[in-house]
Amino acid sequence: MTKYWNESYETLPREQLDALKLKRLKDTVQRVYERVPFYRTKFQEMGLDGDSVESLDDLKRLPFTTKTDLRDNYPYDLFAEPLRNIVRLHASSGTTGKPVVDGYTKKDLNMWAEIVARALVSADADRHSVIQNAYGYGLFTGGLGIHGGAERLGASIIPISGGNTQKQLMLMQDFGTTHLTCTPSYAQFLGEAMNDYGIDKSKLKLRAGIHGAEAWSENMRQDIQNKLGIKCFDIYGLSEVCGPGVAVECEEQNGLHMWEDYFIPEIIDPQTGEVLPDGEYGELVITTIGKEGMPLIRYRTRDITCIIPEPCKCGRTHRRIARLRGRTDDMLIIRGVNVFPSQIEHALLSTGLVEPNYLITVTREGTLDKIMIQVELPESLALNTVAELEDIEKKIKEKIHSVIGINAHIVLVEPKSLPRSEGKAVRVIDKRHI
Ligand code: DLL
């Protein structure tokens, strides 16, 4: 039987949910128009004002907000509340330039804890769960975001943060961890380490993993589930909008429910900005409708997914987004062909010949782009003959070609020789821009 954290809201009939969305959207639009000069100017330039929304359909007339807008208004200019009402600040892990900041009021933290509690229950947790939280604590929203939701749920939380793998494994055994929260790449590493230390997974109480913060494929899920002997759930979120918990999988493991009483999703064509019909892949745009500190109107996430309109068997009425395919800014253009690292991951793992640890390096020789994929062999295959290794290489090359239409240089490397990640993994090095 499906478990819910907040059944009445999670299963709210669509009509009532839409009415709630409209009310909250109107309030948000009014709020940003009155309180945030950036939005007031943008609205006025487009001939809109704080009362311009009469139906949910009017959303598409509102302006987008981009990451550049957030950077240009660094650190506080998009806040709709004075700093004295902001009780927490987080910032994104961006690698270039200034970070992107988000400020939360008490009410925002309350909402965030609510949606994370919903997410944890959706991923099979309850107040008896022991949650080992290996997302990083700090400016990154992963650690504290999950923490707040687990406390709200009344579970026992182990705030271990990322890294310190040996200690993670020790506590997992001694404290009877039932749920592991961390990035998929770190979960994979923990699974590997567990095997190395001779820990018998069947003796652990661990039963579920809640993974997100980076793109991961279905094959990667299978790998982590096998390595750790658990069921893994996908969780999505982003600092700009609040953090983990914006959307999450349920027991059906088929798409992530976005909590539409707080976030309105749209999918647009990233080139034209046109809203796409349900079921079509494009860029996810999110409007926050329950946030006080830093509400965002039509925030362009750069994440690629689609809206799954069909109702889910779990009974939650909030629509699902499909597993994230990557980001528009992750997309590599190699010899004019658009390639997403997630396609390469999927192709590699579907051969069943290699481990889900790989590194893609793109270079340019003269005018020609070259792609090299280093991928680890499983330990059982590392000692094979040269001919056998060449055969594996050939099969992988063919598979990659069939998926992306480009010949890649495949380099099989020793097991455990590529760098491991305790947070978000680095899978691509594009030397063309260095
Ligand atoms: O990664 C928040 C988070 C923490 C989500 C813990 C889930 C779990 P940022 O550092 O701002 O915030 O990065 C947000 O990470 O725009 C996506 O590109 C990517 N991302 C997050 N979750 C997923 C996911 C956190 N489940 C960016 N699948 C987002 C694929 C994801 N990509």
- Residues 373, 344 contacting (CB under 8 angstroms): yes
Cβ burial of 337 (10 Å; 0-12, 13-18, 19+) is: exposed
Helix, strand, or coil (residue 110): helix
Q: Which two tokens stand for residue 430?
A: 């594009």
Domain extent listing, the chain: 1-328, 332-430
Class of CATH domain 1-328: alpha beta
Which ligand 1 atom is the nearest neighbour of the CA of 93?
10
Q: Residue 375's beta-bridge partner residues?
A: 358, 412
- Whether residue 326 has its Cβ less than 6 Å from ligand 1: no
- Whether residue 93 has its Cβ less than 6 Å from ligand 1: yes
CA neighbor of 316 nearest in space, from 250, 232, 247, 235 = 250
Those residues whose C-beta lies under 8 Å from the C-beta of residue 32, and which sit 6 or more positions away, are 39, 40, 80, 295, 297
The whole-angstrom separation of Cα 340 and Cα 356 is 16
Topology of domain 332-430 in CATH is GMP Synthetase; Chain A, domain 3 (3.30.300)
CA–centroid distance, 383 to ligand 1, in Å, is 37
Q: For 317-327, give one letter per residue: b (16+ CB within 10 A) or e.
A: bbbbbbbbbbb
Which pLDDT tens digits describe the chain residue by residue (434 residues)?
779 999 999 999 999 999 999 999 999 999 999 999 999 999 999 999 999 999 999 999 999 999 999 999 999 999 999 999 999 999 986 656 789 999 999 999 999 999 999 999 999 999 999 999 999 999 999 999 999 999 999 999 999 999 999 999 999 999 999 999 999 999 999 999 999 999 999 999 999 999 999 999 999 999 999 999 999 999 999 999 999 999 999 999 999 999 999 999 999 999 999 999 999 999 999 999 999 999 999 999 999 999 999 999 999 999 999 999 989 988 899 988 889 998 999 999 999 999 989 999 999 998 899 999 999 999 887 667 889 899 999 999 999 999 999 999 999 999 999 999 899 999 999 998 65
| 282-288 sheet: strands from edge to edge | 263-268, 282-288, 299-305, 326-327
In whole angstroms, how far apart are CA 191 and each of 4, 172, 198, 208, 418?
29, 12, 11, 13, 16
Which ligand 1 atom is the nearest neighbour of the CA of 330?
18
CA neighbor of 90 nearest in space, from 313, 293, 347 = 293
CA–centroid distance, 239 to ligand 1, in Å, is 8
What is the pTM for the complete model shown? 0.95
- Whether residue 136 has its Cβ less than 6 Å from ligand 1: no
Q: Residue 342's beta-bridge partner residues?
A: none
